[in-house]
Structure 1
């Protein structure tokens, strides 16, 4: 059962993981190809009260992010820091080494959450299932060692999660998947909740595509909010940990103003009707 706990330090709700740790329901996402800004991260931490930052080895900004965290002056223990293992590093020994290298680049002694970034292993001559299971065993040991306070996956579908479940051991604490008004994988959300896996959504604005939809614009006018605030509020109100990305301080500030009000049930239902199955990022359905 997912429970919501208040966070006095953040004025932001937190979602309880199955192991008792709490993850802030709102975070700041980063990405590659211009998706990182030192100024923006420092601003988010110092001025907006953000205490959850998501990155990945793939994005190439772990070292810069570590420096921004230090510059912000926010104590490490107050920040929920997520990074991800790229498939090129899948495998038992290579996964362990990659985790320690990410910690070194970030300048931290531990990660709050470490995710397998993608279900495809990209290892020739071996099945995806075999490599995923071996990699997950490495993450379980990193978790047991305390190097990761929580472990999980990203872009995994029900079939991929069922495989890990069959292996035994630690059930993923988090599954991070594309989630926005046009991509609402509710069967996957329900499965995760049934299995005690916290569902985390990325691309809540559908890379800007949601910001011009008439229904969302009408709701923005009704509530006196921006279209991005409506999308993020809708995601959070669905109980989804949400990590909008931005490199602009004013946008980050805007994206944080999503608490203290609720969308009406009828408006939540109207947003639910926007699902058309489109994806703006990864396409994991073809991965065996």
Structure 2
């Protein structure tokens, strides 16, 4: 979402109980999201007395590069722009750029972790070959997550198996399929069965598979709805029925097969 949308959405989300926020250089919202967090923490809305360490802030490198110095500067700029002192999780946004750029960018990210600018490092949109390439390089810092598009209509089983092999958690973006399958008969039927909305069913599917689910919304009521899934428990049979909806649907972009 845009910077202006992010500023308002982050304030609403913090008030609703959200503690993790996913930004990126490519989204042009790092400054606004960071400002919204700082404003909330110092405001009367912060009734719980939350501190910076209670917030989990993620951002991503827009472009891999064969220039180590360029990547280090880019990471430092993101840390400075958000104004939060450090970034909890920094991801390589995609595998684009080729092997040398990917591994050079990871080395720069490792050094950002060493220097305290970043707490944890991860990857995004990495396919099986990219993950194997990174792990074969014997990285000094283990990638903590791979953020990929995952939902019942694109289950990404091969990538998930590879991540499990290396103890890399899955962060699922577009868990709501960007609204493209809300009228699917199975989704509607199971939503009715569990007394929830299609969006809540999709978020719950993601969570029950052990993913870190990243539903996106700039609307206050939807933010609250997406978080209210604790009372839903999808049965194993119904989870399997949802898994069978897989059609390899890509709702935005798919760099997972990039050379």
Is 1:35–1:247's contact at 8 Å kept on the other side of the alignment?
A: no
Residue 91 in structure 1 maps to residue 67 in structure 2: yes
Change (3 A) 1:141 1:233: same
Which sits farther off after the overlay, 230-239 or 206-215?
206-215
Matching residue within 60, 68, 80 for 2:56: 80
Unpaired segments of 5 or more residues in structure 2? Answer: 42-49
Across the aligned residues of Structure 1 and Structure 2, the Cα RMSD in angstroms comes to 1.5
Report how far residue 266 of structure 1 moved. 1.1
Paired position in structure 2 for 1:219: 190
Kindly report structure 1 stretches of 4+ aligned residues shifted beyond 6 Å.
Answer: none
Report how far residue 215 of structure 1 moved. 0.5
Paired position in structure 1 for 2:120: 150
Distance 1:85 1:197 in 2: 19
Distance 1:129 1:161 in 2: 11
Could you say what secondary structure the match of 2:119 adopts? coil
Distance 1:207 1:253 in 2: 17
* Equivalence map 1:117-156=2 (5 Å): 117-121=93-97, 128-156=98-126
**Corresponding residue pairs, total:** 250
User: What is the TM-score of this pair, normalised by structure 2?
Assistant: 0.92
Change (3 A) 1:109 1:134: same
- Superposed CA deviations along residues 152-181 of structure 1, whole A, max 9, x for unmatched, are 110000100111111112221110000111
Matching residue within 48, 52, 76 for 1:100: 76
Report how far residue 261 of structure 1 moved. 2.9
Residue 109 in structure 1 maps to residue 85 in structure 2: yes
Paired position in structure 2 for 1:53: 21
User: What is the TM-score of this pair, normalised by structure 1?
Assistant: 0.83
Report how far residue 67 of structure 1 moved. 1.2
Distance 1:110 1:40 in 2: 21
Is 2:65–2:102's contact at 8 Å kept on the other side of the alignment?
A: no
Is 2:146–2:168's contact at 8 Å kept on the other side of the alignment?
A: yes
Report how far residue 131 of structure 1 moved. 1.1
Paired position in structure 2 for 1:164: 134
Residue 37 in structure 1 maps to residue 13 in structure 2: no
Distance 2:161 2:180 in 1: 25
Unpaired segments of 5 or more residues in structure 1? Answer: 1-30, 122-127
